[in-house]
Amino acid sequence: MNKGILLAFDDEADAAQRLAEAGGWPCQLVQRHRFPDGEFKLRLPATLPERVIVFRGLHQPNEKLVELLLVAQTARGLGAQHLTLVCPYLGYMRQDIAFHPGEVVSQRVVGRFLASLFDAVVTVDPHLHRVATLAEAVPVASPVVISGAPALADWVARERPGALLLGPDEEAAQWVAQAAARHGNDSAVCRKVRHGDRQVQIELPAMDWHDRAVVILDDVASTGHTVALTTRLLLQAGAASVDVAVTHALFAGDALDVLRQAGVGQVWSTDCIPHPTSVIPMAPLLAQAVQGLWPRR
């Protein structure tokens, strides 16, 4: 039986090995050499099986997109007939509309680029707003989305039983409700008005926050300013504690310090993006999703 192979890069070797072990695939690293002018020379195994999985997270995505172009096209010539991209964090999804004349809709461009290279894309909680499905953003033959919400909910249930799960905005309502229903937690969402990357207004839901343990649940955290502002409002309203659970821990710059200074207690994240807060493994769910794409023999 052709079980396929998993290709990965040295900077994600640990995460790729966890996925390979969960799926029962051999894992080989793509050899990389950087020339003085910045160009890459890559080397794949000399021959490849019919089915190949490429593991690459698209945080800090720019050079990685070039790597994927080189790897995918070369893999086809080395025997691969079905290419699956396992991308725990899918970058370039936030810009899904042109707000001003001439703006590049990067979601559309990058999505079509990936669809031209791969037969399937497996990702976790893509950051979609005005687009309802991954297939619209990445028109690949087999788009697969798994959610980090159940795993986050399980972690919170162990660490903060009975906590109220709070989403940062209305767009998170269904996602937060899904997590809350798993263990019977109460849930609510804030109202957020964004005026820029670091300027937002937050309105808490009208409810009694006194002595409540609250966990702010989100799919992605970047600068930390929205979560910090929400935390301050919650503590001012009498919340007993505020913790944070997030699928994608981008946490750029001093984001963690911003959260601590605002009064956040614990910060937990999945390992979709390697980070000191990563405590929730996603490899078993990613492996299961890939296996679901392959016909049984």
User: CA 114 to CA 93: how far, in whole Å?
Assistant: 12
Mean pLDDT calculated for residue range 10-34: 96
User: CA 285 to CA 214: how far, in whole Å?
Assistant: 27
Domains 5-147+282-293 and 149-280 share a fold: yes
Q: pTM value?
A: 0.92
pLDDT at residue 264, rounded to an integer: 97
Token pair listed for 61 = 């995505």
pLDDT at residue 20, rounded to an integer: 97
* Percentage of the residues of the chain whose pLDDT score is greater than 70: 96
Model confidence pLDDT, tens digit, residues 129-155: 888 899 999 999 999 999 999 999 999
pLDDT at residue 65, rounded to an integer: 98
pLDDT band, residue 1 (cuts 50/70/90): very low
User: CA 198 to CA 270: how far, in whole Å?
Assistant: 24
CATH, domain 5-147+282-293, list 3.40.50.300, 3.90.1170.20, 3.40.50.720, 3.40.50.2020: 3.40.50.2020
Sequence length of the chain is 297
Res 97 pLDDT > 90: no
pLDDT at residue 96, rounded to an integer: 84
Model confidence pLDDT, tens digit, residues 254-295: 999 999 999 999 999 999 999 999 999 999 999 999 999 976
Model confidence pLDDT, tens digit, residues 204-262: 999 999 999 999 999 988 888 889 999 999 999 999 999 999 999 999 889 999 999 99
Model confidence pLDDT, tens digit, residues 172-190: 888 899 999 999 999 999 9
pLDDT band, residue 296 (cuts 50/70/90): low
User: CA 164 to CA 280: how far, in whole Å?
Assistant: 20
CATH, domain 149-280, list 2.20.25.10, 3.40.50.2020, 3.40.50.20, 3.30.110.30: 3.40.50.2020
Res 197 pLDDT > 80: no
Q: How far is CA 120 from the centre of its chain?
A: 17
pLDDT at residue 231, rounded to an integer: 96
Domain boundaries in the chain?
5-147+282-293, 149-280
Token pair listed for 151 = 């795993």
pLDDT at residue 94, rounded to an integer: 87
Res 47 pLDDT > 50: yes
Mean pLDDT calculated for residue range 57-71: 97
